[in-house]
């Protein structure tokens, strides 16, 4: 059964054994001594991270560049040492624990993040960091050497906009240093706060060929794996994201004296916009998603018709052409709503992440590792953005998902069962070992 399922998984991911340069998929099964990660240590470390930014709701607010973020890094640095890694903070504020390889090769990177959204959950990012540490520590304790140097990376301020990984991949633009992060610090101040040096960001940049491969374990943050009963997601790629700020200008006026047919109600227009975005994306019928998550009406009083409304718009898909087509429809819809309501829409793009496909060899290695562990796996896109998408621009990237209960994420109720955390770390370990064997000759 496992063998058949594995073949189906590879086929679903558009893969065959050929991508591995191996005669059959099963040839990817570990040729070396099998070792297992310490699941209890993984779970204990996840628990140990919880207090850094814990909210009364039970959720986590460890905003990138915040005190809680910085304090948790001290703990992670200690764990790096425990895992036989030498920790340092690069100029971009990324925390990197490294150990040497047997050969003079570029390093294999395992990474994720420990910062969170406001009132988010305790698994997003955390699991990937703790999992990467566990891979390093299991290897060290088992005295297993890798050909490549190994680096465990805790990226700086992932949730704010993949800042640390974009600085490393060379995608970060200097003007962004002035932007405000949710911590209250600008990006520049935040990097300094974490121990980086924003005046020398060039020193953090890695070019194609300087990284052998990048692997990231992460919770799915959606409900697909749980719904179909699979344990491992073989990530096909990370969807592209475009973000806009939408400003609707009407006319503020008295809510009692202005007849319904004489209003230029910016909140009415914005409300129709929110509904139209939802209907437009659903009507498209694909896997694209569109969200308005933030809204503000001015002046914002019970007895005043809103004069201006500002809201966000975000569209995501694996194919940027789909995003662009949907946005054109949304723009046309906004135009129509503006005419109906005598308001004016101004939509400004503020954020672009291009889609980032994973490396086909990495997909096959993840599939093989899942198969080797007897775990059901499926190929799937990542709807969420991840630091892996930055790394995909400079190195072969692979990503492993484990199920999120109820598909809940970025919320206090975020949960991945203990067993699935352990399964994910095991697949990460085996994939990393296989990648060490396979990549760069």
Residues 242-271 that bind its own copies (CB under 8 A): 243, 251-262, 265, 267-268, 270-271
Contact (Cβ atoms closer than 8 angstroms) between residue 27 and residue 17: yes
Toward its own copies, which CB reaches closer, 146 or 266?
Answer: 266
58 Cβ contact partners less than 8 Å away, ≥ 6 residues apart: 412
The strand pairing partners of 32, in sequence order, are none
Residues 164-183 that bind its own copies (CB under 8 A): 182
Instruction: Name the token pair of 308.
Output: 């201006």
How many helices and strands in the chain, by DSSP H and E?
13, 16
Q: Which of 408, 415, 437, 440 binds its own copies (CB under 8 A)?
A: 408
Q: What residues numbered 100-139 form the site for its own copies, per CB under 8 A?
A: 117-120
CA 356, chain centre distance (Å): 11
Which residues lie closer than 8 Å to 284 by C-beta, 6 or more apart?
322, 325, 326
- Residue closer to its own copies (CB basis): 205 or 304: 304
- Tell me the two tokens of residue 45: 């470390």
Angle, in degrees to the nearest 10, between helices 360-372 and 2-12: 160
How distant, in Å, are the alpha carbons of 2, 89, 214, 238, 304 from that of 392? 30, 22, 8, 9, 49
Site for its own copies in 26-45 (CB under 8 A): none
Among 9, 98, 382, 431, the residue binding its own copies under the rule CB under 8 A is 382
**C-alpha–C-alpha distance, residues 370 and 429, integer Å:** 11
Binding mask 341-380 for its own copies (x = CB under 8 A): ----------x-----------------------------
Measured from the CB atom, the residue of 120 and 149 that comes closer to its own copies is 120
Which one among 305, 330, 366, 377 touches its own copies, defined by CB under 8 A?
A: 305
In DSSP notation, 383-431 reads -S--HHHHHTTTS-EEEEEE--GGG--SSTT----HHHHHHHHHHHHHH
Shortest reach from residue 36's CB to its own copies, in Å: 29
CB 125 within 8 A of CB 216: no
The one segment of 68-76, 193-201, 206-214, 294-302 that binds its own copies by CB under 8 A: 294-302
Give the binding-site size for its own copies (rule: CB under 8 A).
Answer: 71
Among positions 50-109, residues that touch its own copies (CB under 8 A) are none
Minimum gap (Å) between residue 405 Cβ and its own copies: 12
Which of 425, 276, 285, 434 lies closest to 362, judged by CA?
Answer: 434
Of 31-39, 130-138, 163-171, 382-390, the window that binds its own copies (rule: CB under 8 A) is 382-390
Among 14, 209, 299, 374, binds its own copies (CB under 8 A): 299
The span of 183-191, 201-209, 284-292, 327-335 binding its own copies (CB under 8 A) equals: 284-292
| CB-nearer residue toward its own copies: 1 or 260 | 260
| Distance in angstroms between the alpha carbons of the first and the last residue of the chain | 32
The window from 25-33, 45-53, 290-298, 324-332 that contacts its own copies (CB under 8 A) reads: 290-298
Residues 218-247 within binding reach of its own copies (CB under 8 A): 220-223, 239, 241, 243
Angstrom distance (rounded) from CA 148 to CA 299? 59
415 touching its own copies, by CB under 8 A:
no
Shortest CB 263 distance to its own copies, Å:
8
Q: How far is the CB of 68 from its own copies (least distance, A)?
A: 16
Span from 80-88, 168-176, 206-214, 285-293 in contact with its own copies (CB under 8 A): 285-293
Tokens, residue 336:
């129509």
Smaller CB distance to its own copies: residue 298 or 393?
A: 298
Instruction: State both tokens at 392.
Output: 């995909």
Cβ atoms of residues 412 and 265 within 8 Å? no
Q: Which residues contact 361 (CB under 8 A, 6 or more apart)?
A: 19, 20, 396, 438, 439
Near its own copies in 386-405, by CB under 8 A: 404
- Taking the least distance from each CB to its own copies, the nearer of 77 and 308 is 308
Taking CB under 8 A as the criterion, the residue among 111, 307, 333, 372 binding its own copies is: 307
Helix (H, G, I), strand (E, B) or coil at 377: strand
């Amino acid at each position: 059964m496992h063998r058949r399922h594995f073949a189906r998984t590879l086929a679903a991911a558009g893969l065959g054994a050929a991508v591995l340069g191996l005669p059959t998929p099963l040839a990817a099964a570990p040729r070396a001594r099998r070792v297992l990660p310490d699941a209890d240590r993984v779970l204990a470390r996840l628990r140990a991270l919880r207090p850094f930014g814990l909210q009364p709701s039970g959720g986590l607010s460890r905003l990138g560049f915040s005190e809680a973020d910085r304090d948790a890094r001290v703990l992670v640095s200690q764990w790096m040492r425990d895992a036989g890694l030498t920790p340092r903070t690069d100029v971009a504020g990324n925390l990197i624990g490294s150990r040497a390889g047997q050969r003079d090769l570029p390093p294999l990177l395992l990474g994720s993040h420990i910062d969170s959204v406001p009132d988010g959950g305790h698994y997003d990012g955390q699991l990937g960091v703790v999992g990467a540490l566990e891979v390093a520590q299991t290897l060290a304790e088992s005295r297993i050497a890798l050909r490549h140097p190994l680096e465990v990376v805790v990226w700086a301020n992932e949730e704010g906009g993949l800042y640390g990984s974009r600085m490393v991949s060379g995608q970060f633009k200097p003007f962004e240093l002035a932007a405000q992060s949710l911590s209250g610090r600008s990006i520049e101040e935040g990097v300094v706060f974490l121990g980086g040096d924003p005046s020398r960001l060039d020193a953090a940049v890695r070019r194609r060929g300087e990284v052998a491969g990048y692997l990231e374990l992460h919770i799915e943050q959606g409900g697909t794996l749980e719904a179909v009963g699979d344990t491992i997601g073989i990530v096909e790629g990370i969807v592209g994201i475009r973000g806009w700020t939408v400003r609707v200008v009407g006319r503020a006026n008295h809510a009692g004296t202005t007849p319904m047919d004489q209003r230029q109600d910016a909140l009415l227009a914005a409300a129709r916009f929110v509904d139209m975005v939802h209907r437009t994306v659903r009507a498209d019928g694909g896997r694209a998603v569109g969200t308005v998550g933030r809204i503000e009406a001015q002046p914002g009083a019970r007895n005043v018709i809103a004069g201006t409304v500002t809201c966000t718009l975000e569209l995501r898909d694996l194919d940027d052409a789909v995003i662009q087509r949907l946005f054109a429809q949304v723009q046309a819809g906004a135009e129509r709503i503006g005419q109906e309501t005598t308001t004016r829409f101004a939509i400004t793009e503020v954020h672009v992440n291009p889609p980032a496909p994973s490396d086909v060899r990495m997909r096959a290695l993840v599939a093989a590792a899942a198969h080797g562990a007897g775990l059901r796996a499926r190929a799937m896109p990542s709807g969420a953005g991840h630091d892996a998408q930055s790394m995909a621009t400079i190195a072969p990237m692979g990503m492993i998902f484990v199920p999120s209960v109820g598909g809940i994420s970025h919320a206090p109720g975020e949960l991945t069962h203990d067993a699935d955390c352990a399964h994910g770390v095991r697949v990460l370990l085996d994939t990393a070992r296989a990648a060490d064997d396979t990549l760069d000759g």
